[in-house]
Amino acid sequence: MPGIKISGITNTEDARWAAILGVEFISVSLSEGDPVKVSPDMAAQISGMLPSYTAVVLEVPGPENAGRRLLEKISPKYIEYPVPDEPPQIPERFTDVRKLVPAAGVSVERTPEDGFYQVRVPEEYSEGFMGEIKENFESDKLILSGNMELPRIKKICGVLQPYAWSLGSEINRSPRKIDYGKMKEYIREISLW
């Protein structure tokens, strides 16, 4: 039964509803050029109002962008950043791999056991691709993402058994606002799988 991560939260109302529905992770982005980027003040507001069972994930361009003052202000549990290439050698076909590491003592040298890999599953995936995910990311701490309909998400979760599934644009009403009905449906269906 995978957990749920909601990516790109931009306001306290969406964060509150996600927490009420029991999601494990809520991510806020501070990355330049990201359409769901928020200010450090908004990220701190979101973080400050969440219950302890919902972990705040701070999306940044790289671990070096998560300075001590920023971490103290926002108090995230994890830092998330793109992984261009780190051991194990990640094949090029995995075009969107992210790393979530504990916020305290962020370091590029951390191993998968210290956090999570988030891997985007392309819309046109194959059984071979899923086998490669299993082969390259043997950790049981795998978060999968991909803009897909529920039946495909459930099928992938059945094969790969990830720690969590990351929802984003598939539950949005607009680029910066969540459709609560869709969010509830996706959370219910994925969590019960």
The 10s digit of each residue's pLDDT in 176-188 is 899 999 999 999 9
- Whole-angstrom CA distances from 51 to 9, 15, 19, 103 are 15, 10, 7, 18
Write the CATH number for 120: 3.20.20.70
Beta strands at 116-120 and 78-82: parallel, antiparallel or unpaired: unpaired
- pLDDT number for residue 130: 84
pLDDT of residue 138: 72
Residue predicted with more confidence, 45 or 126: 45
- pTM over 0.75? The answer is yes
Using one digit for the tens of pLDDT, what is the confidence trace for 108-160? 444 445 789 899 888 877 778 888 888 878 766 899 998 888 998 998 998 88
Supply the pLDDT for residue 56: 95
How does residue 75 score in pLDDT terms, banded at 50, 70 and 90? Answer: very high
* Segments forming the whole domain that contains residue 41: 3-191
Number of domains in the chain: 1
Residues 49, 16: contact at Cβ < 8 Å?
Answer: yes
Q: What's the pLDDT at 105? A: 53
CA distance 2 to 157: 7
> Which residues lie below 8 Å from residue 8, measured CB to CB, with a gap of 6+?
27, 28, 29, 34, 35, 36, 168, 169, 172
Count the residues in the chain.
193
Task: Provide mean pLDDT across the span 15-29.
Answer: 95
